[in-house]
Amino acid sequence: MSNKAARNLFIFGSLFFFVIFLALTFDTMGKLDKRAPVITEEVNAGKMVWHKYDCIGCHTILGNGSYFAPELMKITEKKPKGYLKQFLIDPKSTNARATMPKLGITSEEADKLLAFLDWTSKIDTNGWPPKPILATAAGVGGKELSEGQRLYQSLGCSGCHIINGIGGTTGPELTYIGSKRNRDWLFGHFKDPDKFVPKSAMPKVEAADADIEKLTEYMLSLK
């Protein structure tokens, strides 16, 4: 290559990528405002409560903070608000094994915190953090999923329960639930957990009876 060709390659090559860089920058700046919902008074108040109790001393949010406790950015997508409120006020009341301390959060403060966490869960982060691989939560391996298994996934049960080693630890493990509970108990408990376990922290399953039956069927198969 002659000197001239090399110089031209350098100048036009740099120019070419600089133009692409500018275009991408404008594109990103134009989208930034739309990536987070409006910050309301309540959200702001929730952030103040977040600081007051130093939640970040144990948790991460948007990836920042301590790795002692789970990331909370998308928590309101994963667990129902009623449950979360109860947990914040008194973690052990939802799950005897909970290790988060009872911090003295009031009911009002819990509402504000949830408004804040709801706001963070709506921030568009291009799919970060990646969702855990729940496809195999039911039967490990490439087997076709049954309808009950599919419901188990779409209703978010694995956020709180473990089957075959995959899932959350809020509720009891379900790997052998079919040997422990019978059909009537399971069906009734899904419709109204409180009737079977007083002060249960498990949310009612919001689904048609036919689907609850399929879910029950799946539970009975876990032995």
> Which residues of this protein are in contact with ligand HEC, per CB under 6 A?
53-55, 57-59, 68-70, 72, 75, 79-80, 83-84, 87-88, 91, 94-95, 98-101, 103, 105, 113, 152, 155-157, 159-161, 170-172, 174, 177, 180-181, 186, 189, 193, 197, 200-203, 205, 215, 219
Tell me the backbone φ, ψ of residue 54, rounded to 5 degrees: 50, 50
Least Å distance, CB 122 to ligand HEC, is: 16
Q: How far apart, in whole angstroms, are the C-alpha atoms of residue 119 and residue 75?
A: 11
Minimum Å gap between C-beta 107 and ligand HEC is 13
Shortest approach of ligand HEC to residue 140 CB, angstroms? Answer: 18
C-beta closer to ligand HEC: residue 37 or 220 = 220
Residue of 200, 218, 206, 83 lying closest to 152 (CA atoms):
218
* Shortest Cβ 196–ligand HEC spacing (Å): 6
How many Å apart are CA 201 and CA 198, to the nearest integer? 9
Tokens linked to 113? 């915190």
User: Which of 137, 219 has the CB closer to ligand HEC?
Assistant: 219
Are 207 and 185 within 8 A, CB to CB?
no
The single-letter code of the amino acid at 8 is N
Would you say 37 or 204 has its CB closer to ligand HEC?
A: 204
Q: How far apart are CA 39 and CA 166, in angstroms?
A: 35
Kindly report the number of other CB atoms within 10 A of residue 187's CB atom: 18
| 217: nearest Cα among 167, 148, 153 | 148
Of 137 and 193, which has the nearer Cβ to ligand HEC? 193
CB of 176 to ligand HEC, least distance (A): 9
Closest to ligand HEC by CB, 34 vs 131, is: 131
